[in-house]
Structure 1
Amino acid sequence: MSKPIPDKAEVALEYPDKFYVGTFAHSSRFDAHLDPTGLALTLERPGPEDVRKSIHMHLNWGLLAAIIDEIATNIAAIPKDDVVHREQLHESVAALHEALKAP
């Protein structure tokens, strides 16, 4: 079941002869779920055909773990006074940590 995007996502896809960029904001929706091999993520922007768009990504477990490691290594890039975003990340990571401890 998709949920409203609480903030914003920007996606860029670059090919040798083409470049696509899209923004997904509050009017967009997302779905993230786990399957046997990793994380499936979908971002959808509803609307008429000329503005409607979606992206679908799948990250296998190893890549997902490497991304989380990279985030941890670079977390200092979030300013110390950006309490709201730091707290959002802290709560989400704590929930993930607790979920991983469950049998």
Structure 2
Amino acid sequence: MSKPVPDKAEIALEYPDKFYVGTFERSSRFEAHLDPSGLALTLERPGAEDVRKSIHMHLNYGLLAAILTEIAAGIAAIPEDDGLHRGQLRDAAAALHEALKPR
């Protein structure tokens, strides 16, 4: 089930002869779920044909783990006084940690 995008995502796709860029803001929706091999992520911007767009991405668990590790290493770049973003990330990481505990 898709949910509203709570902030903003910018996507760029570069080929040797083409460049695509798109923004997904609060009027957009997202869906993220795990399947047997990794994370499936969809971002959708609804609307008329000339503004409607979507991206579908799949990250295998190994790559997803490497990305999370890189994010953890870069957290220091978020200013200490940016409580909103640090809190959002802390709460999401705590939820992930709790969900990964053995049952």
TM-score greater than 0.5 by the shorter chain: yes
Aligned: 1:43 with 2:29: no
The 3-state SS of whatever aligns with 2:51 is: coil
Structure 1 residue 71, shift from structure 2 partner: 0.2
Give the CA RMSD over aligned residues: 0.5
Amino acid at match of 2:29: R
Structure 1 residue 77, shift from structure 2 partner: 1.1
- Within 5 Å, which residues of 2 pair with 1:78-93? 78-93=78-93
Counterpart for residue 20 of structure 2: 20
Counterpart for residue 33 of structure 2: 33
Could you tell me which runs of 5 or more consecutive residues in structure 1 were left unpaired when the two chains were aligned.
Answer: none
Aligned: 1:76 with 2:80: no
Q: TM-score, normalised by structure 2?
A: 0.98
Could you tell me which runs of 5 or more consecutive residues in structure 2 were left unpaired when the two chains were aligned.
Answer: none
Aligned residues: 103
The 3-state SS of whatever aligns with 1:74 is: helix
% identical equivalent positions: 79
Amino acid at match of 1:24: F
Amino acid at match of 1:53: K
Instruction: Extract structure 1 runs of 4+ deviating beyond 3 A.
Output: none
Amino acid at match of 2:72: A
Amino acid at match of 1:68: L
Distance 1:25 1:11 in 2: 11
